[in-house]
Structure 1
Amino acid sequence: MSTVSYYTAEGLKKLREELEQLKSIERPKASQAIADARDKGDLSENAEYDAAKEAQGLLEMRISKMEEIVSNARLIDESQLDLSKALVLSKVKIKNQTNGMEMTYTLVAESEADLKTGKISVTSPIGKGLLGKSVGEIAEINVPNGVLKFEVLEITRD
């Protein structure tokens, strides 16, 4: 069964571009590799042909999966989001109650998460714990080595 995933306009655009590249560039390359291997002679003992066929099968499987993801993707309507609570696309500044460290994260869909740029998934433990919180609330987040407490300092939108 397929699941609906929510994306920002930027995230959905990247997904569609990747799918288009797989179809228009990678698929012809795979077909050409099979044709080149076929030209080398006896197919029963041709490892290059077998490898090219297997690579094509994996590529087609990846294309199929990407098409399913794109068909189930939904664009997030930012105008309908409550600005007073931490939701998808919220930029949340939090303070760790244990060590006093302050961090800022943007809550995004799972497929757009990138910790290097401060984007965390709403399905991650911290993302789940922050969802629905307002400024001043304490989010208690269960992690493998205990419970972390974060105070929500600020919620903004980009």
Structure 2
Amino acid sequence: MAEHKHNDDAVLMTQEGYDKLSTELKQLRSEERYKIARRIEEARSFGDLSENAEYAAAKDDQAKLEGKIQVMEYQLSRAKIIDSASLDNSHVSVGTTVTIMDITHNKEFVYSIVSSEESDPEKGFISSVSPVGRALMNKRVGDEVPVKVPMGIRKLKIRKIRVK
């Protein structure tokens, strides 16, 4: 998270990412809290709490849920929405979509550069602080960029940058 903080400890985020995180937070606060509260009540009905595995598991899940809610509340409270109107396609930045050619493997990929909170590599959303995202940041069309990945070094060429 620290790598993409901005002024005043802001967390850079697209509007879509903010909306998705807000929706997920609402769901956790209502539905998930309710489900866990019901599990705790049910486990209490089993009697002795000192040897009640169901109760202990539900309380553990409750603590994890509350921790996740706190993190999401913090992220949303510090969110700085990236105004897509202020972006340009002259260089790669959070909020742009990049078409790259993996010269090493002769394959083309399209990635949207997003915050780490919005990252979903399997759907083409990569974090600006991931190895590929970090290597692409502030680069321009035509630039060739070496990227260190777990399987070695890949050479990428930026073919196109667009703003949604």
Q: TM-score, normalised by structure 2?
A: 0.82
2:40 alignment partner in structure 1: 34
Q: Over aligned residue pairs, what C-alpha RMSD do you find?
A: 2.3
1:11 Cα offset (Å): 0.9
Query: Higher Cα Rg: structure 1 or 2?
Result: 1
The one of 67, 72, 76 equivalent to 2:73 is: 67
* CA displacement at 1:123 relative to structure 2: 1.0
Give distance in 2, aligned partners of 1:100 and 1:50: 52
The residue aligned with 1:43 is 49
Q: Secondary structure at the match of 2:117?
A: helix
In structure 2, list runs of 5 or more residues that go unmatched: none
| Contact 2:87/2:163, CA 8 A, preserved across alignment | no
CA distance in 1, matches of 2:102, 2:51: 62
In the alignment, which residue of structure 1 is the partner of 2:20?
Answer: 14
Match of 1:111 among 104, 109, 117: 117
Structure 1 unaligned blocks of 5 or more:
none
Say which of 111, 116, 120 aligns to 2:126: 120
Corresponding position: 1:152 with 2:141: no
Mapped to 2, the partners of 1:143 and 1:43 lie a distance apart of: 48
Q: 1:78 aligns with which of 62, 84, 93?
A: 84
Counterpart code for 1:66: M
- After superposition, the Cα gap between the structure-2 partners of 1:59 and 1:151, relative to the gap in structure 1 and judged at 3 Å, is closer
Cα separation, partners in 2 of 1:105 and 1:14, compared to 1, 3 Å = same
Are 1:143 and 2:149 counterparts? yes
Other-structure match for 1:91:
97
| Count of residues in correspondence between the two structures | 158
The list of structure 1 runs, each at least 4 consecutive aligned residues, that deviate by more than 4 angstroms after superposition, is none
Q: Give the TM-score normalised by structure 1.
A: 0.85
User: 1:26-80 deviations in whole A, cap 9, x for unaligned?
Assistant: 1122222222222232333333222222222222222222212221222111122
Percent of aligned positions with the same letter in both sequences? Answer: 42
In 1, the alpha carbon distance for the partners of 2:99 and 2:19 equals: 27
SS of the residue 1:94 aligns to:
strand
